[in-house]
Structure 1
Amino acid sequence: MVMLVSDRDPVCPGDRIGRDGTDCLSGSGTHVWQGSVVASVVGELRCERPAAGRLPVASVRVGSRSEGPAADVVSAIAIGDEVLCRVRRLNPRYATCDVLCRGTKPLLKNFSGLIRVQDVRATEIDKVSIISSFRPGDLVRAEVISLGEAQSLLLSTAKDSLGVLEARSEQGEAMVAVSDEEMACPVTKTREGRKCAKVQ
């Protein structure tokens, strides 16, 4: 069992913690992505072993240490909330996402979201392409614009502060934003289209 980070280490969304089912299990503030337990929010990693011989449960504690577990999660989402989500799949009309947390707070329930082509940018909407804005696996900050049905949300990345926060190239390298429309692989220098979030 090899944990990539240690108990009480600070973690950020997208940080790999360990292999799911081998090193640890996913708890509050984490999710499973491509076989790994990954942090969903900014906070402090907590690894709790429920019993001898069993895998530790990895969770991320948000806020002060005096707060109880109930303070670390939220059960509802409202129009205007900002959420972090992971792109699951694309088609020409929209991107389907798994909503991971509201702000920095993980969710008690699973929500899915759609980013429609008309909600990607605030300008030149007729020129927007979903395929050139997102890729499966991208970590995206978005705003809730409609609650939809069956825990499915309509999301927007039209504001400058919204869009892709983290993406990997086809070679698996973490890319860096070079403009509001492109990210580049630091190894191959290849550029890929993205709707990038402008970091404040």
Structure 2
Amino acid sequence: MSNLDILLPGALLVPAGKATPGPGTHIQNNQITASVLGRASTAKSSLNSTTRSKGSTSVSVLRPASRQTAPVLPSVGAQVYAKVTSLQRQQATCSIHALVPPSAAALPRLDSDVSSTPTEGSLEPRALATSFRGIIRSQDVRATEKDKVKLGDCFRVGDVVRAVVISLGDQGGYYLSTAGNEYGVVIAWSEAGNGCVPVSWREVLDEKTGLREARKVAKPI
């Protein structure tokens, strides 16, 4: 669901029958899937001298090399990519794995569902050395009809979301917001465990079963 060069954990790569999983990947529902944040890499083994058959193609996900000596930390205004780990009635808990610094990501306008668009080409996320806890409160999911938000119709455990840090919070974690068109779910798995594609800002489609499920979907960037 994301068109970034950097792959997020859970991103689908190729069907398992077309390649073998390498480092940074695993097989889920007969699909080779990214296990870590990074870039896809393929390698083909040499000709087998015994069987004279062609070697298979291996698909890996390589973590990007760090260009900074100081650790990258989430800050207010930073755009982050986080995996939903639990859902409660009033909040969703996430683990933050990557971010785009505030200089490249614009804060959403919390008074409407229209937000400023970050500069194209500046949205490549940086992998974090360690994950951080993030919290999306029900009132921060969208800008309108906040009192009608049902978190179960917006996110599911295992989804990857694009959000923005609105507060450093406390020891409980960073407060995140998806109240903008470009924020929300970017990678989704259906209740049946299959990969999903977006069909609208509020629904995703299970590619195998054809069933639709409710989500707060992020606009592609």
Q: Taking structure 1 as the reference length, what is the TM-score of the superposition?
A: 0.70
Corresponding residue SS for 2:76: coil
Contact 1:83 1:101 in 2 (8 A): yes
1:91-112 Cα shifts (integer Å, max 9, x gaps): 1100000001112111133310
Structure 2 counterpart of 1:143, from 121, 145, 164: 164
Residue in 2 aligned with 1:120? 141
Instruction: State how 1:75-114 maps to structure 2 within 5 Å.
Output: 75-103=72-100, 104-114=125-135
Contact 1:80 1:145 in 2 (8 A): yes
Contact 2:98 2:126 in 1 (8 A): yes
**1:24, distance to aligned residue in structure 2 (A):** 7.6
Contact 1:111 1:151 in 2 (8 A): no
1:12 is aligned to 2:4: no
Greater relative contact order (Cα < 8 A, sep 6+): 2
Contact 2:161 2:186 in 1 (8 A): yes
**1:189, distance to aligned residue in structure 2 (A):** 1.7
Structure 1 counterpart of 2:203, from 182, 185, 188: 182
**1:78, distance to aligned residue in structure 2 (A):** 1.0
Q: Taking structure 2 as the reference length, what is the TM-score of the superposition?
A: 0.64
CA distance in 2, matches of 1:59, 1:110: 17
- Structure 1: which 5+ runs fail to align? 1-9, 18-22, 47-57, 62-67
Contact 1:25 1:37 in 2 (8 A): no
Contact 1:75 1:109 in 2 (8 A): no
Aligned residues between the structures: 163
Contact 1:73 1:105 in 2 (8 A): no
- Structure 2: which 5+ runs fail to align? 14-20, 43-60, 101-124
**1:15, distance to aligned residue in structure 2 (A):** 3.6
Residue in 2 aligned with 1:60? 63
**1:73, distance to aligned residue in structure 2 (A):** 8.1
Contact 2:11 2:187 in 1 (8 A): no
Residue in 1 aligned with 2:219? 198
**1:148, distance to aligned residue in structure 2 (A):** 1.0
**1:69, distance to aligned residue in structure 2 (A):** 3.1
Corresponding residue SS for 2:35: strand
